[in-house]
Structure 1
Amino acid sequence: MSSPAPDLVLVGLCDGELDSMRHHPTFMTSKVGGQPDVPSRLLRHFPCCSRCASALVHVVQVYCPLEGSPYHRTLHLFACPGEACCGRSECWSVLRSQCLEADTTCRPRPQQEQPLSATDWCDSADDWGIEQQQGDDGWGENAMKQTKHETAQNGTKAEDPATVDVEMSSKLKELQLGPSENAPPCFCPYFISVVEESDLFGEDRELAHAHELLRDYEKREGIAVRELDCDEDGGGGQERYEKTKVKHGDAVFARFMKMISICPEQILRYYRGGKPLFISEPPANMPQVVSACASCGGPRTFELQLMPALVSLLRGESSELQLEFGTVLVYTCRSSCWTSGTNKAVEEFCYVQSDPDQQLFK
């Protein structure tokens, strides 16, 4: 997902389950769940919850290089699955990783990353640490001669190659591929596909379906949400909406539902530099709530948000591993600052809003 042109909104959709036995995602893969993938020079880091100190679980990985930038760029969102934590902004974390093309070649993992993981089984992985001899494939004639010579010197009988293969296969079956011991449990992984929001209006059938969903919503809530023209007298470009009586008393929520009615299944909305869709009334001092970049001190800008449809995908092997939220807004450094040679990701800012309807079930 590259940074779109101004006023171009990208929508993320679930694009099928990511099978770790068949697919080998990298930091250039946009996905839900799984373990975070980072460039080889960066340390894989799991932040902790500032409230309960538990390790945060990886929620979403978004590959989002900026137009005109030489850097690859990836955002990782983490959250605490604790029931009392997941709806709090301070219990979420977003990390930004960047690297140059020259940094994407395979290198030995840092000392902390010694345990094997599924990504070590790619074409660029090493040959089990066995050096090849010139004119030999590592398991060919020269290797077999060496084995027979050593066993003869020790007075033992050389094992049959077939027996060696069987023993090697049994040992391989005992290998447990997966995250290191320090990695927390993870959500089931899914690919994310990206479409332009404007493309969702392409077919009359889809547009008619969107209008039908909107009419059903308005009928159910007893409202008629209609955008009015922006002020032309220098009103700051703020949108105004017809003040109608909403059953749940939340016109912001009504607007949110209207905007996503064209594609209710969207799990992510990307609009760097644009305006977020609030699901409930934001704080009056929202510009002050969004802190400055901790790395360079510069301002942050809105980049993306997680949508309610994502909640149903966030399920782990344990029924206790799940999240509840309305929307999660991500703000990143406007200049996307990065220090060359660093091995740590930059922490950005996220703001969590709960779903107003959740209060009806508590």
Structure 2
Amino acid sequence: MAAPMSTNTVELGFIEKVDNCRLFSRFFPSKVGGKPAWLELKNLPKHDELICQTCGKPCVFVLQIYAPVPNKDSCFHRSVFVFLCKNTECHKRNNSNSFLVLRSQLSRTNQFYDYEPPNEDEEKPENHPNPEDFETSLCRVCGCLGGKRCSKCHTASYCSREHQTIDWKKGHKMNCGDPGDLGFLFLEFELVTEPENEGDEDQQSDDEKYSKYLESGADEKTQDFKIEELQKMAVKETKEDKTFLAFKKRVDKEPEQVLRHQRGGQPLWVSNDNKPTAEDIPPCSCGSPRQFEFQIMPQLLIHLNVDSVNESIDWGTLLVYTCSNSCDEGPAYHKEFIWKQDVSSHQPDME
């Protein structure tokens, strides 16, 4: 079972290969790719809740994080799911219409899971609860709610005609058998987290370091700075430059991070452009304001393998905002808000 994320410190997420039997819903995983490990197993989001706002085609599961809210009984189990459209033409600069976020939560006592945590070493696949146990059919292509069935075998379920067509072309046409790996989903990994370790000295800005140097009156040779570094600090930078350099400097300490989580904290901006205002972030349907919860880093793109010859899916960072009250009203899967911020057009690449 994934460890609950702290709300006081920044938790960094890293990709790790693992036996996929540890990524079932029963273990409350944080993970990337594959099919969603749904938390609430009975009332899954409907097809029209999982479609791209641009092209209307079904979105694909990207990742989920297990993030309970301490001291709130109804959030003893809590997961946030992120989906995206794989159609590269739908991905526009600083536009998040091709992404969507859902939140689900359960109390410790619920109809799906045992009160005590599972023993990963003793659990058997046949003991894992899944939506089928509650008469819920899953699309065998993407793992979302399947409302359509194959007219030939009457057993294979699909969320949409698009996914039925994918399965048909990949072999279902021949034998209505197991689809195997259709090559449609993203590769599956565990998402492991650990607190960000940031020293006090590293938190100082270049301007602060340079000011301290000037105030000290000490000889250059006694300082920890190289002369070229001091010269660089002295050069007047634009706000855009400083924002991007601060992002890169922070990320370079843990260059393999793919996610940063700090519910109620502040995001690490990749650009000074296209920052959301309070008016840009809509309140939850319950009326509570939304707050920052986590951001997805551009390093995840390497693992998703979404580059193509002419176009590719890309982002500077994806910022996820969730209900500050983590409300229980409404559906089992609450729609939350995501903001896409790209690197400024005049900035160099992250490499």
- The equivalent of 1:82 in structure 2 is 87
Q: Which runs of 5+ in 2 are unaligned?
A: 114-128, 144-174, 210-232
Question: CA deviation digits over 1:284-324, x for unaligned, max 9?
Answer: 66111111112x01101100000111110113799999631
2:244 touches 2:270 (CA, 8 Å); kept in 1? yes
1:43 touches 1:110 (CA, 8 Å); kept in 2? no
> 2:13 matched to 1:12?
yes
Q: Structure 1 residue aligned with 2:66, among 63, 66, 77?
A: 63
Taking structure 1 as reference, are residues 111 and 68 closer, same or farther at Cα in structure 2, changes over 3 Å only? Answer: same
Taking structure 1 as reference, are residues 41 and 249 closer, same or farther at Cα in structure 2, changes over 3 Å only? Answer: closer
Taking structure 1 as reference, are residues 284 and 261 closer, same or farther at Cα in structure 2, changes over 3 Å only? Answer: closer
> 2:232 matched to 1:252?
no
Between the aligned partners of 2:37 and 2:70, the Cα distance in structure 1 is 22
Following superposition, the deviation at residue 25 of structure 1 comes to 2.2
Give runs of aligned pairs for residues 20-31 of structure 1, distance below 5 A: 20=20, 22-26=21-25, 28-31=28-31
- After the TM superposition, which of the residue ranges 107-116 and 260-269 deviates more from structure 2? 107-116
> 2:56 matched to 1:53?
yes
RMSD: 3.9
Following superposition, the deviation at residue 9 of structure 1 comes to 0.9
Between the aligned partners of 1:114 and 1:261, the Cα distance in structure 2 is 40
Q: Which amino acid aligns with 2:6?
A: P
Question: CA deviation digits over 1:128-182, x for unaligned, max 9?
Answer: xxxxxxxxxxxxxxxxxxxxxxxxxxxxxxxxxxxxxxxxxxxxx9851669x9x
Give runs of aligned pairs for residues 224-303 of structure 1, distance below 5 A: 226=206, 228=208, 244-246=235-237, 250-283=241-274, 286-294=277-285, 296-303=286-293
- The equivalent of 2:100 in structure 1 is 93
> 2:137 matched to 1:113?
yes
2:23 touches 2:31 (CA, 8 Å); kept in 1? no
Between the aligned partners of 2:51 and 2:195, the Cα distance in structure 1 is 34
Q: Which amino acid aligns with 1:194?
A: T
Following superposition, the deviation at residue 272 of structure 1 comes to 0.8
Between the aligned partners of 2:308 and 2:53, the Cα distance in structure 1 is 23
2:60 touches 2:142 (CA, 8 Å); kept in 1? no
Taking structure 1 as reference, are residues 343 and 41 closer, same or farther at Cα in structure 2, changes over 3 Å only? Answer: farther
Question: CA deviation digits over 1:224-276, x for unaligned, max 9?
Answer: 952649xxxxxxxxxxxx88445995321111112212111100000111111
Give the fraction of aligned pairs with identical amino acids, expressed as a percent.
27
Q: Which amino acid aligns with 1:113?
A: S
Taking structure 1 as reference, are residues 64 and 322 closer, same or farther at Cα in structure 2, changes over 3 Å only? Answer: farther
Question: CA deviation digits over 1:113-134, x for unaligned, max 9?
Answer: 1677999xxxxxxxxxxxxxxx
Computing the radius of gyration over CA atoms, which structure comes out larger, 1 or 2?
1
Following superposition, the deviation at residue 195 of structure 1 comes to 0.5
> 2:327 matched to 1:347?
no
Give runs of aligned pairs for residues 148-297 of structure 1, distance below 5 A: 175-176=177-178, 185-198=184-197, 226=206, 228=208, 244-246=235-237, 250-283=241-274, 286-294=277-285, 296-297=286-287
Give the alignment's TM-score, normalised by structure 1.
Answer: 0.63
Q: Which amino acid aligns with 1:90?
A: N
